Amino acid sequence: MRTKRIYLASPHMGGGEQRYIQEAFDTNWIAPLGANVDAFEKVVADYVGAAGAVALDSGTAAIHLALRLLGVGQGDVVFCSSLTFIASANPILYQGATPVFIDSETNSWNMSPVALERAFRDYAKKGKLPKAVIVVNLYGQSADYDPLLRLCEQYEVPIVEDAAESLGASYKGKMSGTLGRFGIFSFNGNKIITTSGGGMLVSDDLKALQKARFLATQARDQAKHYQHSEIGYNYRLSNVLAGIGRGQMEVLEDRIIRKREIREGYHKELANIPGVTILDEQTYGRSTHWLTTMLLDSKRTGIRPTQIIEVLESNNIESRPVWKPMHFQPIFQEYSYYSHTEEEDVSAKFFAQGLCLPSDTNMSSIEMDEVVNVLKKLLSE
Ligand SMILES: *Cc1c(COP(=O)(O)O)cnc(C)c1O
């Protein structure tokens, strides 16, 4: 067994981070906030072409604040992609609202406009339109927004774009995170760039972002004494960690190029094996290919994703199943779900057949060849 583990996606520093951290130390702006936070917000907002950005301590916090800003509260309905990480949906429960989960379409794996339309029709009939739709961009690729935006505009419901996995991706010339009323990013350790933990809320609505800053710092009223009139949170990013973020933004494009090479390598070596499909880049924009994902038709490959994960693990290589859809989660059992069509549950199929391959930008070409060789041997047996 190899001694050095190959990871799915691990932190990959560029070298410039330490300079910004040192600045924070030199000026003693360890906390609160400070120049790194301001600069990190500006560089991310400029990069995606949003009017403004608010740096937060997680992507989850950013989604929570977006829902607060949209007035989501007790008893409200929020539509959300089902095939995603739980962090997309938990903030709906934080607000005492009711999630309704929406299936994926087959091309990008992201929200199905067909399912979304059925959900809108049903909830319009009930007189209970959602307060927001959370659309997730999975594995580095944007959802196909035109049909989603058309529906949301028709019903006058704002989109929160969960771009935690798609920083740097684009859709028809617009950057991921700028398609909805609010966009959110995550800088968790496994994401394409990381601050060890962190997130960002972006929007063109500067007034709303000002309110987000207020809510993220305990909602302290303008008064000499400590006075509070509504519920706030302690959600801001530390000035030290924002320094890591500034350095990471300088290498984001390098990371995207490498992620795309990794996906290209897997595609070249594996896509022609019968029963194997590697998720493609859609024609409407650039995917970062944050994680390369693969579908297996086990009847043709003779092997299931879980078996592949086990064999890779025995070689000290990390791989993962595709996200378990929210409508299969014990915590969300009581909530409604709209599958792609009445007959076809697309995310259930991706969950059953999919896996995420090691996509670590720290991985060398030799290491990647090792992974490919293990996979080829398994899939040709
Ligand atoms: C990582 C992730 C989040 C949450 O980000 P944190 O920074 O870990 O809170 C939200 N949504 C998706 C789809 C993610 O992958």
How many angstroms is it from 60 CA to the middle of ligand 1?
6
What's residue 280's pLDDT?
Answer: 95
Q: Ligand 1 centre and the CA of 287: distance in Å?
A: 18
Closest atom, ligand 1, to C-alpha of 187: 7
Higher pLDDT, 223 or 377: 377
For 236-302, the DSSP string reads: BPPHHHHHHHHHHHTTHHHHHHHHHHHHHHHHHHHTTSTTEEEPPPPTTS----SS-EEEE-HHHHS
DSSP string, 43-77: HHHHHHT-SEEEEES-HHHHHHHHHHHTT--TT-E
Q: What is the pLDDT of residue 31?
A: 81
Question: For the chain, how many residues are written?
Answer: 381
Q: How far is the CA of 124 from the centre of ligand 1 (A)?
A: 30
Residue 346 pLDDT > 90, yes or no?
A: yes
Q: Which atom of ligand 1 is nearest to the CA of 198?
A: 7
Q: How far apart are CA 131 and CA 218, in angstroms?
A: 24
Atom of ligand 1 nearest to the CA of 188: 7
- Ligand 1 pocket at CB < 6 A: 58-60, 84-85, 87-88, 136, 162, 164-165, 186, 188, 199
Q: Which of 60, 81, 111 to mutate to test the pocket of ligand 1 (most atoms within 8 A of CB)?
A: 60
Higher pLDDT, 253 or 381: 253
Q: Which phi and psi (to 5°) does residue 278 adopt?
A: -100, 130
Residue nearest to atom 11 of ligand 1 (CA): 88
- Cα of 132 vs centre of ligand 1, distance in Å, is 18
**Mean of the per-residue pLDDT values of the chain:** 97
pLDDT at residue number 178: 98
Check whether 257 has a pLDDT greater than 90: yes
pLDDT over 80 (residue 1): no
* Percentage of the chain lying above the pLDDT 90 cut: 96
> What mean pLDDT comes out for the span 245-259?
98
Q: Which domains does the chain have, with CATH numbers?
A: 17-249 (3.40.640.10), 252-380 (3.90.1150.10)
For 58-116, write each residue's pLDDT tens digit: 999 999 999 999 999 999 999 999 999 999 999 999 999 999 999 999 999 999 999 99
Whether the full predicted model's pTM is greater than 0.85, yes or no, is: yes
C-beta neighbour count of 309 within 10 angstroms: 17
Binning pLDDT at 50, 70 and 90, where does residue 380 land? confident
Of 381 and 258, more confident: 258
Which residue of 109, 141, 165, 324 sits with most ligand 1 atoms within 8 Å of its CB, as the best mutation to test the pocket?
Answer: 165
Enter the DSSP assignment of 217.
B
**pLDDT tens track for 285-301:** 999 999 999 999 999 99
For 156-185, what is the mean pLDDT? 98
Distance 248 CA to ligand 1 centre (A): 18
pLDDT band for position 126 (cuts 50, 70, 90)? very high
Find, among 182, 144, 139, 106, the residue nearest to 285 by Cα: 144
DSSP assignment of 316-336: TB--EEPPPPGGGSGGGTTS-
Helix (H), strand (E) at residue 17: helix 17-26
| Mean per-residue pLDDT, 120-127 | 98
Answer whether residue 381 shows pLDDT above 70: no
Ligand 1 centroid from CA 240, angstroms: 21
* pLDDT reported for residue 224: 86
**pLDDT at position 358, please?**
98
User: What is the Å distance from ligand 1's center to 342 Cα?
Assistant: 29
Sheet holding 293-296, edge to edge: 276-278, 293-296, 354-356, 320-321
Q: Look at residue 114 in the predicted model and tell me its pLDDT.
A: 98
Query: Which H or E run contains 375?
Result: helix 365-380
Tell me the sheet residues that pair with 174.
171
Residue of minimum CA distance from atom 6 in ligand 1: 59
**Residue 186 CA to ligand 1 centre (angstroms):** 6
For residues 219 and 233, give the distance between their C-alpha atoms in angstroms, rounded to a whole number: 7
